[in-house]
Amino acid sequence: MPSLTEENYLKAIFVLNQGNEKKASTNAIADKMSTKASSVSDMLKRLNDKKLINYKKYQAAELTASGEKIAITIIRKHRLWEYFLVEKLKFGWDEVHDIAEQLEHIQSKELTNRLEDFLDYPTLDPHGDPIPNKEGVFPIELNETLSDKNENESTTIIGVKNHSTEFLKYLDALSIELGTKVKIKKINDFDLSQEIVIDDKNSKHISKEVADNLFVKISE
Amino acid sequence: MPSLTEENYLKAIFVLNQGNEKKASTNAIADKMSTKASSVSDMLKRLNDKKLINYKKYQAAELTASGEKIAITIIRKHRLWEYFLVEKLKFGWDEVHDIAEQLEHIQSKELTNRLEDFLDYPTLDPHGDPIPNKEGVFPIELNETLSDKNENESTTIIGVKNHSTEFLKYLDALSIELGTKVKIKKINDFDLSQEIVIDDKNSKHISKEVADNLFVKISE
DNA sequence: CTAAATATTTAGACTAGTCTAAAAATTATT
DNA sequence: AATAATTTTTAGACTAGTCTAAATATTTAG
């Protein structure tokens, strides 16, 4: 069994390496985990010894099959618990991240599977992120963001990349939620900010950073 | 915030000292926590420094008001989660202890309170143990055990002292559950084992150790 | 009341994980 | 290709918690 800390490292590496390119550098991991590069360096050696990652000095880390399995299990638990917190306990989507961050480390396969059954096998968590099944298979991949779209295109918001309370509250203020239709009226050349129309009604102005963090329905 | 380990020590001390007498000796705690007396000795010093317990060398430990508050919160969370696991996820009463042992350390008052609301404010957990409310008040105390009863007395099982899977499975085999009526037909002088009649139907023979671990309805 | 048995504490070492500061390697820039 | 900037690793120290073995208290028994 990996320790709680090891689980968090594996999860961070999984998330950083999503979209195939090896981006899990020592600094990137340190940044994501709010720790120091030297600590990460130590830990990468240990995870390598345990064959949970492939790691060579001065090169980015990659998960092995068994490391990835653990990472996906953590993500599965995190997302199932988030769904539980929002759907059953009526938390807001901006309130559940830190609690799920703790719940994801509860060890019991049986618990995870019964929870999934109790929740009627949800496929997406409250932020639109896909929930891997018992076998670790994700139902869909979220790839395209609103920034990838062009002027005059319409699309639907299906997920958020950033899960911070601040960002989610900002979306609430803009009346953007999952399922919201968005039409891009204009993209400003200077800062790539967008003028958008929400649900054919309200016009809003959003920065590129916001558009970067909104996943949209994949074209055709 | 106390660490997970500190929380476990506080809980152990609370449980040992239940029923007022100071029984939380170094060895008793070590035993309960499956650790060594020397480790306990170290920890008692630290908890004393943090004013979570009152402890003087060679004397049993007592919780301070703030230590007790923490212990009760842990117990509250443990019992609410056990109730959730049995009532909502349909676990057996013999399967939930280890999982609740993990869940009890999740930090979020809001979560505990919403969970309690979701469960409709249960007062007893699946083992008959009282669930303290938000203010830390227990609805009732379980005191009397079947060993305290005499020959020809009848009573009702309302709780179990030992929560181990083995004990609970043994009770299942005896068809003893919460609410079961028991009449003591005979107490053997030699080993204090009892001949009992369960629900006016089946006669069984149980050891003193089993009777010690069955809480019964308090007389009159 | 003294000796033996038992309980508790201390001393010193170990592990996991972290940090700072310095050294070494890699990458970028001229 | 040489130097500068950046990234990564190493060395050494620190904390929380644990352990074994030895020392010291306390309790029990004769």
The model's pLDDT over A89-116, given as tens digits with 9 standing for 90+, comes to 999 999 999 999 999 999 999 999 999 9
User: Residue B128 has what pLDDT?
Assistant: 83
User: Residue A35 has what pLDDT?
Assistant: 97
User: Residue B113 has what pLDDT?
Assistant: 96
The model's pLDDT over B107-134, given as tens digits with 9 standing for 90+, comes to 999 999 999 999 999 999 999 889 999 9
User: Residue B112 has what pLDDT?
Assistant: 98
Candidates B88, B98, B102; nearest CB to A118: B88
- Which string of DSSP letters, residue by residue, matches B165-216? HHHHHHHHHHT--TT-EEEEEEE-TTT--EEEEETTTEEEEE-HHHHHTEEE
Check if the beta carbon of residue B129 is closer than 8 Å to that of residue B159. Answer: yes
Query: Who wins on pLDDT, A109 or A158?
Result: A109
Rounded to an integer, the average pLDDT of B54-72 is 95
Residue A20 — pLDDT band, cuts 50, 70, 90? low
Rounded to an integer, the average pLDDT of B191-218 is 90
User: Residue B6 has what pLDDT?
Assistant: 97
Rounded to an integer, the average pLDDT of B83-104 is 97
Amino acid letter for position B4: L
Amino acid letter for position A12: A
Q: Which residue has the tokens 């920065």?
A: A207
* pLDDT surpassing 90 at residue B67: yes
Look at B111 and A88 and tell me if their CB atoms are within 8 Å: no
The gap between B24 CA and C10 C1' (Å) is 21
Question: CA end-to-end span of chain A, whole Å?
Answer: 43
B99 touches chain A (CB under 8 A): yes
| Of A18-27, A126-135, B24-33, minimum mean pLDDT range | A18-27
* Residues having Cβ less than 7 A from any atom in strand D: A 25-28, 37-38, 40-42, 44-45, 57-60; B 3-6, 35-36, 38-39, 42-43, 46, 57-58
Choose, out of A87, A101, A106, the residue to mutate when testing the contact with B (most B CBs < 10 Å).
A106
Question: From CA B205, how far away is CA B184, in angstroms rounded?
Answer: 10
Check if the beta carbon of residue A97 is closer than 8 Å to that of residue A163. Answer: yes
A35 touches strand C (CB under 7 A): yes
- B99 interaction partners in chain A (CB closer than 8 Å): 106, 108, 111
Look at B106 and A107 and tell me if their CB atoms are within 8 Å: no
For the record, the structure tokens of B107 come out as 């930090």
Question: From CA A7, how far away is CA A23, in angstroms rounded?
Answer: 18
Question: From CA A74, how far away is CA B165, in angstroms rounded?
Answer: 27
Check if the beta carbon of residue A61 is closer than 8 Å to that of residue A55. Answer: yes
| Of A73-82, A144-153, B8-17, minimum mean pLDDT range | A144-153
Question: From CA B158, how far away is CA B143, in angstroms rounded?
Answer: 10
* pLDDT surpassing 70 at residue A127: yes
Strand C: which residues 156-175 of B lie within 7 A (CB)?
Answer: none
Question: From CA A63, how far away is CA A155, in angstroms rounded?
Answer: 34
A167 touches chain B (CB under 8 A): no
For the record, the structure tokens of A142 come out as 């979220």
Residue B220 — pLDDT band, cuts 50, 70, 90? low
Query: Who wins on pLDDT, A77 or B202?
Result: A77
The gap between A36 CA and C19 C1' (Å) is 8
Question: From CA A168, how far away is CA A93, in angstroms rounded?
Answer: 7
Residue nearest to nucleotide C26 (CA to C1'): A58
The model's pLDDT over A167-204, given as tens digits with 9 standing for 90+, comes to 999 999 999 998 899 999 999 988 889 999 999 888 99
Compute the C-alpha angle A155/A161/A164, nearest 5°.
125
Rounded to an integer, the average pLDDT of A119-137 is 91
Radius of gyration of chain B measured on its C-alpha atoms: 19
The model's pLDDT over A30-83, given as tens digits with 9 standing for 90+, comes to 999 999 999 999 999 999 999 999 999 999 999 999 999 999 999 999 999 999
User: Residue B144 has what pLDDT?
Assistant: 86
* Average pLDDT for chain A: 92
| Of A7-16, B90-99, B208-217, minimum mean pLDDT range | B208-217
Put simply, the chain B residues between 117 and 146 with a CB less than 8 A from any chain A CB are 118
Across B193-205, b (16+ Cβ under 10 Å) vs e yields bbebebeeeeebe
Check if the beta carbon of residue B84 is closer than 8 Å to that of residue B91. Answer: no
pTM of the model: 0.79
A103 touches chain B (CB under 8 A): yes
Collapse the DSSP code of B133 into the 3-class scheme (helix H, G, I; strand E, B; otherwise coil) and give the result: coil
Backbone angle region of B103, left / alpha / beta, with phi > 0 → left and psi within -120 to 50 → alpha = alpha
Q: Which residue has the tokens 């800062």?
A: A191
Q: Which residue has the tokens 């109790």?
A: A118
Question: From CA B70, how far away is CA B59, in angstroms rounded?
Answer: 22
User: Residue A64 has what pLDDT?
Assistant: 96
Q: Which residues contact B117 (CB under 8 A, 6 or more apart)?
A: none
B114 touches chain A (CB under 8 A): yes
Candidates A95, A106, A114; nearest CB to B102: A106
Residue A220 — pLDDT band, cuts 50, 70, 90? low
Phi and psi, residue B183, nearest 5° = -115, 130
